[in-house]
Every structure is written in structure tokens, then in C-alpha cells.
Amino acid sequence: MTSIREPGKITDNITLIDFKYEGVAGVGGVYLVEAGKKCLIDSGSKDGAPHVVKTLKELNAFPPDYVILTHSHWDHSQGVPLLRKKASQEQKSFEVFASEKAIPLLEDQSYNEVFKNKTFDNITDIFPLKEGDIVDLDGLTLKTIDVPGHSKDHIALYDESNKNIFLGDSIGIKIGDNAFLSPIMPPFWNTDDFYATLEKLKQIPFDSVCLDHFGYIFGDEAKAILDESRTVTDQEWRIYEVAEQNGKLDDLDFLVELFMRDMRPIIPELKVEKFMMRFMLGFINSLRKIARKEPFAVANILLKTTLEMKVKGYKIAKGIQ
Ligand SMILES: [Zn+2]
């Protein structure tokens, strides 16, 4: 075994909390890091925040002393307002940190409309982090490393004493041993920055990585993950190029077909945990019946909606309208 994808305590210092991305278990995580001080790495989404608060309370860790956001995408940042509201109801507060580059993006979260047709809460009062800055947790330190590509404001946090690195979304989405998607996402994907990020991360002697989507990866899998990330990103980019050449960038069925043929992922079974996602299932291609019978339907729907987002990242990067 080279990964832990079950929520709970994963090392002496780290607890994985599943915030149930879009109501689905096993695809969206935040991490509680505990030393003398307690720090949450990312907040999860707005819908996921009640679950994060509940879990932190069960762990006697609410509110944490600090929340560090790896980047300003909605599913990492939009939990902050609820976490702050719940803390203030108890006359408590906590410090929120993010890259200095994330601050204007947090202050105006409307760019997230590229992902979803809804409104997003703007987030202010953020303490800016820049390359090399250390967040001291009294007995453990987290070093800020700029890792752009997936998003221009993305940072990783390196715990040198445990040789563990929190990578957020910077190198991609890996929800199973052989289910790895690239970090290509709108609206700020930058291929050159991503390659530079991989080279930079290769200089860091980490033994384990924590991914927001999803889990704690160690051993040989962690050692190979940067090369694997580059391979899947190149493969995925090629899929979008082929779709573009065929005039089928907007044909999701075509994209899924190419993806399954070329990437050959082993899609894990995912469980729907909330009514919301079950409700949504009924409306996406009338898949309600299939969802009941077909255990992989949830993963397939998520793959389709994820590819729909990713192709927007490709189009923006290529200047395609
Ligand atoms: Zn992201």
C-alpha cells in the first residue's frame, strides 16, 4: 500500500478530513496539521464547510489557529466564510493565509463562475504569504513554495521535519491508484509554469504528498508522482488537441471516449453521500436508474463534469473562444 484515501488520522500530525466534494466521498479533502498550534490546509467548498466544522469539533480542533489556502479556486476557499461565522458565534477567530497572488482573487471570487453558474462569497482579511515564508505551528513548520500552473496563485506547503508536502491541486487529481487526471483547469492554466513547477518540486526531498483530490501518498508512488503527473498532463493535452482537430472540443461524449481509450484509468467506485448529488444525478442524462444499478456511474458523471471544466482550461490557454 502506498496511499491512504480513508479520512482520519494519517500520521502523528496530520488528519485527512473528507469535505464531500459535490456530495461525493473520496474526492475532496482538507488536512488538519497539529503541533503546538493547529492549522487547516484549505477550507473545502461552501457546501462542504458544515462537515469540516463538525469534524474539527469532534477532534477538539475548532476553530484551528490558522487556515492556509493553497489557492483561490472555490472548492478550496469557499468554506472560509462559514468557518469564520461559526468561530465568531463562539467569540473566537483564526488567521487565514494564502499566496499574496491569491489575495485579489479571493477579494473578487467571481472568476469562479467559469466553473459554476452561481455566485461566490468574496473573502477578505487574508495574511499574504510569499515564496519561502514559514508558518510556525510550534514544533512543526510549513514552508511556502510557489507552484503555479494549475492556478497562478497556487502554493505548496512543505513540512521539512516530516518530509511531507501539501500539494493542493498543483500536480493534478489522483482519486485512485490508476485514476490520475492532470491539473489542467480554467481560468489560469499555464503549461510552461506547470513544467517549471514540476522541476522545482523535484528539488524538494519529500517522502510523502498530500493531495486535495485526494489523499496521502507515500513510498514509491510519491517518488514517481511528479513524472506521472507530467505524463498524464501531456496525454490529456493531446486528447484536447485531437478533439480540437476534429471540431469536437464541446462534445463531452467524444472527450470521455478518447480519455478512456488513451488514459485507461481504473475508475474507483464512488459513493454518493448527499441528497444534492442524488438530485443532480437524476438530471444529468437521465442517469438516475443507471446510478442505482451501476456503481461507477457517479465516477463517470464526475469525470464528465471534470472534463467539461478542464476543456475550458485548454480553450482559455489556447485563446479559443
Ligand atoms: Zn484548483
User: Of residues 205 and 270, which shows the higher confidence score?
Assistant: 205
pLDDT band at 270 (very low <50, low <70, confident <90, very high): confident
**Cα(118) to centroid(ligand 1), Å:** 17
**Cα(30) to centroid(ligand 1), Å:** 13
**Cα(95) to centroid(ligand 1), Å:** 21
pLDDT band at 285 (very low <50, low <70, confident <90, very high): very low
Predicted pLDDT of residue 321? 76
By CB atoms closer than 10 A (0-12, 13-18, 19+), residue 288 is middle
**Cα(150) to centroid(ligand 1), Å:** 7
**Cα(141) to centroid(ligand 1), Å:** 24
**Alpha-carbon gap, residue 259 to 63, rounded angstroms:** 41
Domain boundary among 204, 232, 260: 232
Q: Dihedral sign for Cα 19, 70, 110, 312, please.
A: negative
**Cα(91) to centroid(ligand 1), Å:** 31
Positions of E strands within 212-259 = 215-218
- Single pTM value for the model: 0.92
Is the bond into 187 cis (omega within 30 degrees of 0)? yes
pLDDT in tens, 89-112: 999 999 999 999 999 999 999 999
Q: How many domains does the chain have?
A: 2
Which residues fall within 8 angstroms of residue 122, CB to CB, at 6 or more apart?
Answer: 106, 107, 108, 109
**Cα(143) to centroid(ligand 1), Å:** 20
**Alpha-carbon gap, residue 51 to 19, rounded angstroms:** 6
> Partners of 173 in the beta sheet?
181
Instruction: Tell me, yes or no, whether 145 and 114 share the same domain.
Output: yes
Instruction: Tell me, yes or no, whether 50 and 171 share the same domain.
Output: yes
**Alpha-carbon gap, residue 176 to 81, rounded angstroms:** 31
**Cα(213) to centroid(ligand 1), Å:** 9
Nearest residue to 40 via CA among 174, 135, 147? 135
pLDDT in tens, 236-261: 999 999 999 999 999 988 998 898 88
Instruction: Tell me, yes or no, whether 136 and 278 share the same domain.
Output: no
Domain boundary among 199, 232, 265: 232
Residue 282 belongs to what domain range? 238-318
Instruction: Tell me, yes or no, whether 244 and 219 share the same domain.
Output: no
Average predicted confidence (pLDDT) for the chain? 91
The x, y and z cell numbers of residue 235, run together, are 496525454
Predicted pLDDT of residue 265? 76
Predicted pLDDT of residue 277? 55
**Alpha-carbon gap, residue 151 to 65, rounded angstroms:** 26
User: Of residues 209 and 21, which shows the higher confidence score?
Assistant: 209
Mean pLDDT of 270-288: 54
Domain boundary among 232, 261, 286: 232
pLDDT in tens, 35-61: 999 999 999 999 999 999 999 999 999
Instruction: Tell me, yes or no, whether 65 and 150 share the same domain.
Output: yes
**Cα(191) to centroid(ligand 1), Å:** 15
Predicted pLDDT of residue 281? 53
Q: For residue 222, give the CATH number of its domain.
A: 3.60.15.10
Predicted pLDDT of residue 146? 98
Which residues fall within 8 angstroms of residue 270, CB to CB, at 6 or more apart?
Answer: 24, 25, 26, 27, 175, 296, 298, 299, 302
Predicted pLDDT of residue 304? 85
Instruction: Tell me, yes or no, whether 165 and 314 share the same domain.
Output: no
pLDDT band at 177 (very low <50, low <70, confident <90, very high): confident
Question: Hey, what amino acid is at 243?
Answer: A
Instruction: Tell me, yes or no, whether 9 and 111 share the same domain.
Output: yes
Instruction: Tell me, yes or no, whether 214 and 249 share the same domain.
Output: no
**Cα(296) to centroid(ligand 1), Å:** 24
Instruction: Tell me, yes or no, whether 156 and 305 share the same domain.
Output: no
Predicted pLDDT of residue 291? 47
Predicted pLDDT of residue 305? 87
Mean pLDDT of 63-84: 98
Mean pLDDT of 124-138: 98
Instruction: Tell me, yes or no, whether 11 and 156 share the same domain.
Output: yes
Three-state DSSP class for residue 157: strand
pLDDT band at 68 (very low <50, low <70, confident <90, very high): very high
Instruction: Tell me, yes or no, whether 188 and 219 share the same domain.
Output: yes
Residue 26 clears pLDDT 70, i.e. is over it:
yes
Question: b/e map of 15-26 (b: 16 or more CB within 10 Å)?
Answer: bbbbbbbbbbbb
**Cα(48) to centroid(ligand 1), Å:** 15
**Cα(75) to centroid(ligand 1), Å:** 7
**Cα(168) to centroid(ligand 1), Å:** 7
pLDDT band at 288 (very low <50, low <70, confident <90, very high): very low
**Cα(16) to centroid(ligand 1), Å:** 18
Instruction: Tell me, yes or no, whether 132 and 259 share the same domain.
Output: no
